[in-house]
Amino acid sequence: METTEMPGVSLKRGSLAVEDNESPAPGEEVKRQRVSECCLSEDRGQLQSDALRCRENVPLAARAVSAGEAKNHSEAQLEEEEEEEDGLSEEGEEEEEVESFADMMKHGLTELDVGITKFVSSHEGFSGILKERYSDFVVHEIGKDGRISHLDDLSVPVDEEDPSEEVFMVLTAEEKQRLEELQLFKNKETSVAIEVLEDSKEKRTVIHQAVKSLFPGLETKTEEREGKKYIVAYHAAGKKALANPRKHSWPKSRGNYCHFVLYKENKDTMDAINVLSKYLRVKPNIFSYMGTKDKRAITVQEIAVLKITAQRLAHLNKCLMNFKLGNFSYQKNPLKLGELQGNHFTVVLRNITGTDEQVQQAMRSLKEIGFINYYGMQRFGTTAVPTYQVGRAILQNAWTEVMDLILKPRSGAEKGYLVKCREEWAKTRDPAIALKKLPVKRCVEGQLLRGLSKYGMKNIVSAFGIIPRNNRLMYIHSYQSYVWNHMVSKRIEEYGLKPVPGDLVLKGATATYIEEDDVSNYSIHDVVMPLPGFDVIYPKHQISDAYREMLTADHLDIDNMRHKIRDYSLSGAYRKIIVRPQNVGWEVVAYDDPKIPLFNTDVDNLEGKPPPVFASEGKYKALKMDFSLPPSTYATMAIREVLKMDTSIKNQTQLNTTWLR
């Protein structure tokens, strides 16, 4: 095996913004730290403005997206309080951003900035296009039993306890609106009365069932007023009833959790759950999942929800675009973050320039050797202020710098209202005034400004604490990743792709050193490197000094990684330096039309669409890749190894712009 430096590879066009395996794995990054992070994208509040309408049989069409929407993966901590909805139309802003995106991304990061500099293979790189279409990038979750999740069954389990389909039709839109406002305490009404127009016991029963099924937390009773019958809805148990659906309404013989497979396009996992909870009129925290999936892909994963029937969930298939729910079953337990074994990826690289021999050499190397397990560019943000800089300031206890890094104006791709908010902050340093510029208050900037308004400028620690914990930890995890990338590049530069005395390997969950007479018992695939923390050991060779030097240069003490604030104390973790994908397969296909799909999705198969047929010759060639990765590894880094190219948005956008000219 050889290591190679990154050459200056030309790419014709394309944006390599892809979905990665960012879920914590019990056996991959061990110790006490769960590396979970949160999405800090500026359109986090977009789900509040989704003006979705119910439609029958809406097709799931792939959408094009700009290269600037790369997002970090998330396990979001949800706030209990209700906040303003984002009713802002952003179409004009998006057009403006697309036009100037290449210029804005000149200020972004490159792989070199975050320590990504080495390759493991010696093949010559070639160019290809991972197009801005979700159908070229599909992710299937691999469950804890090793089974790959597929959406292949839309049927609903037969259950005599389920109400009739009439439940979903009996209430008018106006009645649903009033009931929702009552359920969410949005007005001063203590009850809502629904007149029974065609009075019969059967009709009243259906209305009772409809209210209780569609609006958890509400109870109903029948009243007679002036000779007319009314169903009166009222609160059963205060605000807590929203998060805890009524116990007595769920059959004891049925598992408390409905598990289902969620197929989605152009939504990350938390945004998808927020949309589902909005339509089901429940709190998002009754959903659970094993791993988060990014926005810019077609993804298929398992979700569990507490005491919501498969019937209600299946009804959403008629209402929502870019979603499909199926493979329903009732289980006793929810899902837990990190329980998955990984993800299976199907990726198409279009218009490849490599010869058949180059492609075969690249893919054989990926299958047999693997790739360097770098943290991908998504980990570090897309603006001129990388997330690792904020993390470093937190660890330094430099809270004024933390505040300034998050709020100050910066170059890069951002929503217009965020730009105005930053400008207002720089001009006035008044958090209340700057906050008024934000229609979306749930973004990190909005949460910090709200905290500063509440606690004052002299208590930045408490103000920063308003931000959900996972968002805050994402910053320091980003700094750990930044250090790890640099150290792994240095380790490979110094010692190559073979184990050496002083390297670390895992025995169970414990890291131990490779001794001189033990080297032949290990391969490079066994070697791990630590993310810095108070509960890890460092290699016994030159790289240990390199860790110390890097942290010392950042004014941090490698021997004291405990922080005054417990949340920000880093225990550390271990991560394999080389990952070898499993279930690797590939095929080079010829095609003429750049817009045609080159493989079927689960929804295509459900709809009975025949798989694409390829000619022996065509105007273009595409490389179709299949591979499985463990949690917390980045598919971008596998694709980088195949193409030998910089996967940063900055580089991709500049190449894309050059090609378009």
Cite the active site residues: 294
The CA-atom distances, in angstroms, between 280 and each of 41, 563, 615 are: 25, 42, 46
Partners of residue 512 on adjacent β-strands: 505
The residues, any chain, with a CB within 8 Å of residue 200's CB and separated by 6 or more, are none
Start-to-end C-alpha separation, the chain: 39
Contact 74, 39 (CB under 8 A): yes
Task: Please count the other Cβ atoms lying within 10 Å of the Cβ belonging to residue 368.
Answer: 11
Phi/psi for 375 (5° steps) reads: -75, 130
DSSP character string of 126-164? ---B--SBGGGEEEEEE-TTSPBP----------TTSPP
DSSP alpha helices (H): ranges in 51-126? Answer: 91-99, 101-104
Contact 250, 293 (CB under 8 A): no
Q: Find the length of the chain.
A: 661
Contact 311, 156 (CB under 8 A): yes
Going by their DSSP bridges, the two strands 137-142 and 298-306 should be labelled as parallel
The CA-atom distances, in angstroms, between 523 and each of 1, 116, 136, 511, 530 are: 12, 22, 34, 15, 18
Dist CA 244 CA 419 (whole Å): 39
Residue 281 Rama label (left phi>0; alpha psi -120 to 50; beta): left
**Residue 301 burial by CB count (10 A; 0-12/13-18/19+): exposed, middle or buried?**
buried
Sign of the dihedral defined by the CA atoms of residues 463, 436, 404, 382, in that order: positive
Partners of residue 221 on adjacent β-strands: 232
DSSP character string of 543-598? HHHHHHHHHHHTT--TT----SSGGG----EEEESEE--EEEEEEEEEES-TTS-S
| Long-range contact pairs involving 616-619 (C-beta distance under 8 Å, separation at least 24) | 616/590, 617/590, 618/589, 618/590, 618/591, 618/592, 619/590, 619/591, 619/592
Residue 519: both structure tokens together = 């080297």
The upper half-sphere exposure of residue 628, i.e. CA atoms within 13 Å in the direction of its Cβ, equals 16
Sign of the dihedral defined by the CA atoms of residues 404, 405, 407, 412, in that order: positive
Helix (H) and strand (E) counts for the chain? 19, 19
